[in-house]
A and B are shown apart, each in its own frame.
Chain A
């Protein structure tokens, strides 16, 4: 049982708004990708919103996160400006990375977002490094590293966990266990039921939670982040969820049964949280309607901003490799 009464009302509301924001953002990105407005490929976070919202509700602005190819939700929950995000996804100069990164590489260092990542488990070593820096500089910041179930099979995951434990780094590893790694079902590729036990072999705690219950995510996140912040070392949270969309937008999804997906839609996190908020009288139907309308408007404004922004000039491809960009044979 989650002790939800201990969670401040503003937080309860913020988490709801954040989840809705992510859902709306992803929904429009999907539509506009299918209309060929967005280049490259995008991976939707739909269905996993409770994880980003529940964890980030416990982070400070100066805390760090590392994200993944499925990273829009993490950025939004860490406080990203939807306009700059959308512009980046559209490849525009006004985006977070001036169009150089796109969906899979969005980063905002001022927000503490040390990058989405095109490499599975690619963020884990970066999180370890940020943890080392925090320790050396003696601050009480925390790093949260998000990654998928598939990433827990990479050497970088195992090496990263061991490293974090050896140096007792303030890192919370968050596994978004969404049952699939691209076409590969977790049940076929991961021989243990819960990957949380993998933390035990590196000597730190790991827990498995319902990642579709934002209150449970919040509570686990609060505990883990406090643990890391007060110097107890790393912590691992395995949040069980389900990827409701294809691996990427446009995925033919021949590897799973449509009925399975429909079943999981019944457990999706936003409706579930909405029901709770209404039952407990935290929000009214009117509030929810207003929140949704407001967010839809913000997301639409972000799309307009992205559409109306300029593409970078071709020659700008030769900028940003080094601090002093002149004189190299680009």
Chain B
């Protein structure tokens, strides 16, 4: 099978949907001139037919996000790029108070096929205002589906499902993943939202992760295999809805679980998963459910500080060695 990058996979997924459906438009900051800062729009701007439907906006986040709501109500399918997850904060009211409540408040009168997508996560000392992962907020406040792919294959299948979904979806692309390559078939496929993927099978403990941390978990699993510890790695892929069945079945089998995310540990979404495992499987657990996340401080600039606060494979290895 051919291999393409994560950025190309996203782009292809959007391109295919835009060609099929003329009501899709996509806009945001710095996308139309160079194809996005991480190249996720390169294939769109190379396509003559899409020129009018891919456009740059002023730096006006509240309006960028809020306008997606109006556009969706009035019959379009907007895909909005949020530039950096950190700048969801500069327009967040349009999402949390408007997009995420509108359908419900109006008694289900409209469907809102909106996709908000863009980069998040730590990347090479981008410091406190360009490194955050804030998916937990959108899992906490009700009203939007949350998607976080880890491979090019998943990214393409999930972006297409997100675009076709009749409800608002927020789609996070970790900056460190854009350049990774992976097999992606030429034929069309869709990955339904709400289905986790077992990225590696194992017997002794289940690691539940998303995005960059899936790769860290797989590295950890390799290392632990040499110690004779067999790790199962589940890539959750979507947080809303999240695939309880796959997770619980796995933990029943292994008897233990660690939830790993790059976002802060305290009150991160891992707490929700851990609590659910405890509620559902109390008595069947051989060890307590653990959580790994960033230390609870903003992202420092200096490389040794940044390295210290973010979770990585070695933290997973250490935690598992301590447990098993």
Give the B-binding residues of A (Cβ under 8 A).
Answer: 39-41, 91-93, 97, 99-102, 104-105, 117-122, 150-151, 153-156, 181-184, 188-190, 252, 254-255, 311-318, 321, 328-330
Contacts of B284 in A (CB 8 A): none
Given that A39-B124, A39-B303, A312-B304 are known contacts, is A255 also in contact with B33, CB under 8 Å in the complex? yes
Residues of B participating in the A interface, judged by any CB pair closer than 8 Å: 29-30, 33-34, 56-63, 86-87, 90, 124-130, 266, 295-298, 300-309
Is A255 within 8 A of B34, CB to CB?
A: yes
Max count, chain B CB within 10 A of own CB: residue among A39, A188, A329:
A39
Complex Cα gap A41–B301 (Å):
10
CB distance A330 to B125 under 8 Å?
no
A182–B305 CB distance below 8 A: no
Report the separation of the CA atoms of residues A31 and B266 in the bound assembly, to the nearest whole angstrom. 40
Number of A-B residue pairs with CB-CB distance less than 8 Å in the complex they form = 125
A321:B126 contact, CB within 8 angstroms: no
Partner of A183, one of B30, B124, B303: B30
How many angstroms between the C-alpha atoms of A182 and B127 in the bound complex?
19
Residue in A41, A182, A184, A317 whose CB lies within 8 Å of B126 = A41
Cross-chain contact of A317 among B58, B125, B297 (Cβ < 8 A): B297
CA distance A92 to B301 in the complex (A): 10
Chain B residues, CB < 8 A from A317: 295, 297, 300, 305-306, 308-309
Main secondary structure of the interface of A (DSSP, over half): loop
Complex interface: chain A residues within 8 A of B298 (CB)? 321
Q: Knowing A100-B302, A312-B304 touch, does A39 contact B125 (C-beta < 8 A)?
A: yes
A312 lies within 8 A of B127 (CB): no
The reply to whether A328 and B305 contact each other, CB–CB distance below 8 Å, is no
B128 to chain A, nearest CB (A): 7
Minimum CB–CB distance for B67 against chain A, Å:
13
Find out whether the CB atom of B125 lies under 8 angstroms from the CB atom of A91.
yes
Supplied contacts A118-B128, A317-B300, 14 more A-B pairs, CB within 8 Å: A91-B301, A91-B302, A97-B301, A100-B301, A105-B127, A122-B129, A150-B58, A154-B60, A184-B58, A188-B56, A311-B304, A314-B304, A315-B308, A329-B296
Q: Is the CB of A105 within 8 A of B301?
A: yes
Are A311 and B33 in contact, CB atoms less than 8 angstroms apart? no
**Contact A39 to B301, CB < 8 A, known contacts A153-B59, A183-B56:** yes
Using CB atoms, name the residue of chain B closest to A185.
B33
Q: A154 vs B87: C-alpha distance in the bound complex, in angstroms?
A: 12
Known contacts: A154-B60, A329-B266, A330-B295. The answer to whether A91 contacts B34 by CB under 8 A is no
Tell me whether B90 and A101 are in contact (CB under 8 A): no
Residues of B contacting A252 with CB < 8 Å? Answer: 34
Q: How far is the CB of B231 from chain A (nearest CB, A)?
A: 26
Question: Which residue of chain A has its CB nearest to the CB of B56?
Answer: A184
A219 CA to B242 CA in the complex, in Å? 61
Q: Is the CB of B30 within 8 A of A184?
A: yes
- Measured CA separation A188–B58 after assembly (Å): 9
